[in-house]
Amino acid sequence: MTRTLVTNVAALIITLSIGSASNASAQSQDDTAGRAKALSTARDQKSEQLTPPERSLTERALYWYDNHDSRLSWRGLHVNMGNFSGGAGFAGGIGLTQRAIGQPVVDPYQPNRIDLDLSAGRSISGYQRLAARVDVLNIAGAPINFAMSWRDDQMPQEDFYGIGPDADHRVSYRLDTTDTTAALEWKPLRQLSIGGAVALLTPVVGPGTDGRYPSIETTFDPASAPGLNGLPEFLRTDAIVGFDWRDSSTHPRSGGNYQVTASQYDGRHDTLNDFRRVDVQLQQIVPLGNRYRRVELRAQAALTDADDTARVPIIYLPALGGLSTLRGFSNGRFRDRQAVSMSAEYQWEAWWALDAAVFVDAGQVMNRLRDLEIGSFETTYGIGFRLHSNDAFLARFDLAYGREGFMPYLGFKYGF
């Protein structure tokens, strides 16, 4: 109904009301007439025209929605969006999440709480993922968590450009991998976590399916792309320590998060692929006057080391490019044995549910850490938008610009 129409209706009511009052007055030429009687008459008239309340189709639909679990899930079954690597294209799937199995309420401190996550997804580019994870939380009432996970990924058109900062031969390769991981975490303090993990990795590298680019074997050989001629199963062991004092893990407005992971990759029955890797991730949020404006600084380093006779497979090489490092370049654009990157974001609250950001990223890959040279850093710039609830991240869109052009990113998971 337009405002004009409403105005007309209101005017009609006011105008007609005089006539109606006139009738009331005409009927009440004696002192028994009165306001109360006029109102009573109005109610008598309405009582002859009663109708049950009616809802419009939209209201009926939303009423149903209100009363049928607003999370659009049914008994833990839900729809998944995205969560594949960049280049996978639009992806969707289903998941089953059961938190605090067997319990009427989700109690974050419940001893031996068991959570279950199952998911299956596929993208329009043929990426596919099957995953299962079981968490046992607060073991015996202690701040110790155990997780067992299994994941099978099929990634038919991953990008590879060669090794080193100047690599520029884009090819496509396939990576299928099944990872089974057991992880233990101890949180002696609320902010401090110490943990370890053991993972069995079974990667397979093969020809890529991206028709726009050559397949990897046409341009590279095992010497220039280690792992191309086959990879063993790996046993990875991790040691992890972290200190996280952010005010929210997915929508922080202040605080910091510092994580160091040291990993040992052992090729089963094949020492040629054994290597060590250390990942350092530092994040600091600096409020500017209040919680609605802030600068977020990030620094990341991924360092690998192998014996003289060993090599680091391309799929496990430190990489730059993508949503969390050098956003102006595609996912995994730069690979080498060492990678260092940093970024600075100015974020402001444009709306209670939307933060906007402008950012600059810089980073470099290199064979040896001593080759690090600030002047050789790749830099990218961009803007970003982060959709969130009052205290949790929902989705993000970043548009970055680097020397190779614009890169858009849409994500549904908060990164490091």
Partner 1 sequence: MASKKFVLVVVAITALSAATLGAQSKAPAVQDSRRFFPDDPLWMDDDMRNIAPVAKDDLSKSYDFVHHTFSKGSALSGPSVNVNTLGEVPDSSWFTNRIGVRNMTIDEVLRGPDTIDGPAPGPWEVIGKPTAGITPKFAIRDANGIVFLIKLDPASVPELASSVELIATKIFHAIGYTVPEDFIASMDPRQLRVGKNVRLRSESGGERPMTIDDVQRWLKYQPRQADGTIRVLASRWVPGKVVGSFRFTGTRPDDPNDIYPHELRRELRGLRVFSAWLNHDDARSINSIDSYVEVDGRRFIRHYLQDFGSTLGSGSTSAQQPRGGYEYLIEGDKIRKGLLTFGLWQRDWMKAKYSDLPSLGNIESQVFDPATWKTEYPHPAFEAMDAEDAFWAARIVAQFSDAMIRSIVAASKLSNAEAAEQLTKVIVERRDKVVKHWITGINPLDQFEVRRGLRGPILLFDNAALRLGITAAAGETYQTTWSSFDNMTGVEHPVSDVEEYSEPVSWVPTTEFGPADPSGARYLVATIRTMNAAFPQWKAPVKVTLRDRGGVIDIVGIDRSGAGTRVGSTTNN
Q: Which of 348, 397, 406, 416 binds partner 1 (CB under 8 A)?
A: 348
Least Å distance, CB 389 to partner 1, is 10
Q: Which of 63, 90, 406, 416 binds partner 1 (CB under 8 A)?
A: 63
Q: Is residue 260 packed enough to be buried (19+ CB in 10 Å), middle (13-18) or exposed (0-12)?
A: middle
Give the nearer residue to partner 1 in terms of CB position, either 17 or 271.
Answer: 17
CA distance 202 to 152: 9
Report the site for partner 1 in 82-101 (rule: CB under 8 A): 98-101
Residues 23-40 as b/e (b if ≥16 CB within 10 A, e otherwise) read ebeeeeeeeeeeeeebee
Instruction: Indicate the helix (H) or strand (E) that contains 16.
Output: helix 3-26
**Binding pattern to partner 1, positions 102-141, x when CB under 8 A?**
-xxxxx-x--------------------------------
**44 lines the binding site for partner 1 (CB under 8 A):** yes
**360 lines the binding site for partner 1 (CB under 8 A):** no
**45 lines the binding site for partner 1 (CB under 8 A):** yes
Which segment (28-36, 155-163, 215-223, 368-376) binds partner 1 by CB under 8 A? Answer: 28-36
Give the nearer residue to partner 1 in terms of CB position, either 28 or 224.
Answer: 28
Taking the CA of residue 278 as centre, how many other CA atoms within 13 Å lie in the half-sphere pointing to its CB?
A: 9
Least Å distance, CB 365 to partner 1, is 32
Nearest partner of 92 among 101, 82, 100, judged by Cα? 82
CA distance 64 to 59: 8
**28 lines the binding site for partner 1 (CB under 8 A):** yes
Residue 334 φ then ψ, to 5°? -120, 130
CA distance 135 to 142: 14
Instruction: Indicate the helix (H) or strand (E) that contains 320.
Output: strand 319-320
Which segment (14-22, 163-171, 212-220, 372-380) binds partner 1 by CB under 8 A? Answer: 14-22
Q: Which of 141, 247, 351, 416 binds partner 1 (CB under 8 A)?
A: 351
Q: Which of 132, 356, 387, 395 binds partner 1 (CB under 8 A)?
A: 356
**62 lines the binding site for partner 1 (CB under 8 A):** yes
